[in-house]
Structure 1
Amino acid sequence: MIHRYVDPVTVPAQPAAPPPASPARALLPLILPALVIGVGSSLLLIGVSGAAGLLEDVLWKTLPDALGVGPWSVAWILAVLTATGLAVGLVAWKVHGHAGPDPATTGLVDAPLPLGVVPGLLVVTGLALAGGVSLGPENPITAANIALAYWLGRRLAPGSPAQVWVALGAAGTVGALFGTPVAAVLILTESMVSAPRPATPTAPGERAPTLWDQLFAPLIAAGAGGVTSVMLSAPSFHLPLPPFSNPRWPDLIAALVISSAGAALALVAVCAFPYVHRAFHLLPHPVLALTLGGLVLGLLGALGGKLTLFKGLEEIGVLASDPGAYSAGSLLLMTVVKLAAVLVACGSGFRGGRIFPSVFVGVALGLAANALVPAVHPAVGVTCGVLGVLLAVTRQGWVSLFTAAILAPDPGLLPLLCVALLPAWLLVSGRPQMQLDYSGAPLR
C-alpha cells in the first residue's frame, strides 16, 4: 500500500464551515417578548417625556405668567433650577432606592437595577427634564426599561440568561429614542465585541450562535420601539441645513479640523469630570449637592441663555433654522456653557443622559466654525462637531458616527465623517471616560 506524502505547508487549507444558525424553535419564542418589550419601552419613554413636558409648561409658562415675571429672566432661571435641584435631592434622599446608583458611575447599558428603584428614578428624570437640566432621558429610561424587561423575563423564563433581557430592554429604548433600530444594533454590536468571552467552551459539537442570531430578538424590540415612537411622537434629528452634494478638498480639511477640535474640547470636560464630582460630593448630604448643582446650572443658564437649558434636542433645531442670527462669539459661548452644564449636572448627581446635550455642544461648535470661516459648509461643521464631541463623551464610535450622519443625511457627508472620525478617535482612545468607578476613578 502506497502512502502519499502531503506537505502541510503547501496543501491548501480547507475553508472553515460557518457556524450554523440557531434553530428557528430557539428564536421563535423570543418574538412576542421582544415585541412587548419594544412597545413598552417606547411607551415608557413617551409617558415620562410627556409628563415632563406638562410640568415644563407649568414651570416656564404658567407660573411666570401668573407671577408677572419673565420666564427667561435671570431670577426665574435661577429659581427654577435651584428648586429643581432641591426637589431631585429630596426624592433621591427619601424615596425607596434613592433613585438608583450615583449617575457618575453608570453608562447607557448596565446590569439590571432592582425593580423598586424604578419609580424614584423616573420621578427624578421627569423633574430634571422639566426643570431645564442639561441632560437627556436616555440613560435613566434605558436603565428603567432594562429593569422591567429583566423582571418580566425572569418570570417568563426563569432559567434564561440575564443578557437576553438586558439586550431587549436596551434595544427597545434606543430604538424608541432615535425612531430607528439601527442605533440599537450598533450599540449592541459594540457591547458584544467589548464584552469578555466566556471562560468555558461550548459543548462538544455545539457551535456559537452567529451575530445575527444574537441580534434577532433585539432587532425586533428595537424595531417595535422605533415604530411605536414614530407613530406616537415622531422624533426627528434631521436639521434644516443647506444641502451638501459633492465633497471638495477644503471640506475634507474642515472635517478633520472640526472633529478633532470637538473631541479635544469635550476631552477637557471629561478630564475635569472626576474633580467636579469630588467637589460636589464633599458636601455632607445629597440634597445639598443637588441643590448647589441646580444653583450652578441656573447661573450657567443665565450666562448662556435659554437655548443652553434642557436636553438640547429642540434647541438644536432653533440654532440650525437661523444660524445667521448668532455671532461666532455667541455660538462659542453656548458651546462652552452647555458643556460645563453637562459636567455640573452629571457631577452633582442629576440623573440623565449625556448624548442629547452633547449633540447640542457639537452643533453649536460646528455653526461657530461656519460663522468664523464662512467657507466651511454648515452641514460639514455641524456633523463633524457632533462626531468629535460624542466620541469624547460616549467613547462609542458607531453611535457617534450614526448620530452625526442622521443630522444632515446627505450621502456626500458619510465619506467625510468616516475620515474625520480617525484623528478624533486617536485623540480620545485610551483617555479617561466620562464615567467613574465606585472609588471615583475614571474608567478608561
Structure 2
Amino acid sequence: MSKRQIKLGLFLLPTGQHVAAWRLPETVADMHMNAAYYAELARELEAAKFDLLFLADGDGIHGGWPLEALSHTANRVVAQFEPLTLLSALSQHTSHVGLVATASTTYYDPYRVARLFGSLDVLNGGRSGWNVVTTANTDSSENFGYTETPSAQERYDRAEEFVEVVKGLWRSWDEDAFIRNKETGEFFDPSKLHRLDHQGKHFTVKGPLNVPRSPQGHPVIVQAGSSGPGKALAARTAEIVFTAQPDKKKAQDFYSEIKALAETHGRSPDDLKIMPGMGVTVAETEEEAKAKVAELEALIDPVVGLTHLSSFLGFDVTGYPVDGPLPEIPEASAKIIQSRQKLFIDMARDENLTLRETYIRASVSKGHLNVVGGPTQVADLMEEWFADKAADGFNVMPSAMTGGIANFARLVVPELQRRGLFREEYEGTTLRENLGLKCPE
C-alpha cells in the first residue's frame, strides 16, 4: 500500500484571500480579467504538482454591499470570468492539474450542469471537478427571477436530487460505446446507451446525455459546507470536502464525523478527501511573513473590513464602535452561510476580540485556518494536521496571489517533499488518479 500523502488545491480568488491584497504595489490591477495571468498561474501549480485549482464563483455581485464599500474592494466577484469558460481555456495550457469550478444546484438545472462539466471533463482528459453549492445570497436569486432565497432545507433537498440526476446522466454511455467503424457503418453500440427517465420531486429528466464518458468516468464531486445539511450532503455525495476549520480539535471532530457519516451510506472513508482551507503567508523567515501581513492590515479600508464581516454575520455591524466587542448577533437566516456565522461569533467570544480584531481576522482568512511564517513553520502545521487526521490535504489560500503561490511552491512544497508528505511526480493524468479516488463504474 502506498504511503498516505497530502493533497493540495489552490483556492483561487484572483488577487488573493486578503481583502486589501489588490492594493499591494506588486499586484496586477486587472488580474480578474487577465487570461494570460490565469494561464501562468495554472502552469505554476502544475509545475509544483498541485492536485487542483479551485475556482470559487457566484452568479451575482455578492453580499448586498453598500456601493461605497463595494467600490473599494476587488474581493467580491464584481468582475470575473464565468468559470467553465475560463477552465476550458486553462485546459489548453495544462495537462495534469485538476480544474474545479462551482455551479449552483439552486439556479442551474441538472441536464445543463451534466453537459457542461461532462464536456469540460472530456476536453481536458479527465481533470474536472464540480463544486456543488446551494447558494444562499439574495444577489444571485434576484438574477434568476426569485424574490427571496429558498430556505436551507429547500435548497439542500433540491441539491440531493440534483446531484443524483447529474450522476445518472453521466452514466448515459458505457466506456466502449463508440465503435466508429467506417466499414460496417456502426457509429456506436445501441446496447451501451442508457436513458435515465428520472421522475422525482424536483426534476423530470429523460436523458440520455449527449456527452460520452470521460477518461476518469465523470468529474469529481466537490462540496463545501459545514452546516448540518451540508455535512449530510457531503457524506452521501462528495468526493472532496472543502471546509473552514481554524481550530485543530474542531477540524478533527469534523473529519471523523464526515468519514463516519460516509460509512453509514456504504462508502469507504477513503472515498472522500477532507481539505480544509488554509490561509497562508509564507516567506524566507517568519519576520518577513509577518511584515507582509502588517502591510496588508494597514491597507484595510475600515468600511470594507466592517462590511465584509457583516456579510458573514448576516447582521450590519458598521455602526458599532470598532474597538468595542462584537454586538449580539441574531440567529442566521437562509441568506448566509450559517456555519460561517457561528464560526466568527464563537471566535470573537472565545478570544475576547474587538470588532476591529474580528474584521481583521475575517479579512485575511475568512474564518479558515491561517498560518504566517517560514517554510518549516508552515510545513510543521500541515504535517501535524495531516498526521492527526484533521485533514487529508489543504485548499491553499494565499493572502496575496502575486508572489504568494510562487513562494508556497518554492519554499513549502520542497519541504513537504523532503518529508515524504507530498508527491514529486503526478501519479497519473486524471484528477481521480492523482487524488487516489476510484473511477466510477
Q: Give the TM-score normalised by structure 1.
A: 0.23
* Structure whose residues are more often strand by fraction: 2
Computing the radius of gyration from Cα coordinates, the structure with the larger value is 1
Q: Give the TM-score normalised by structure 2.
A: 0.23
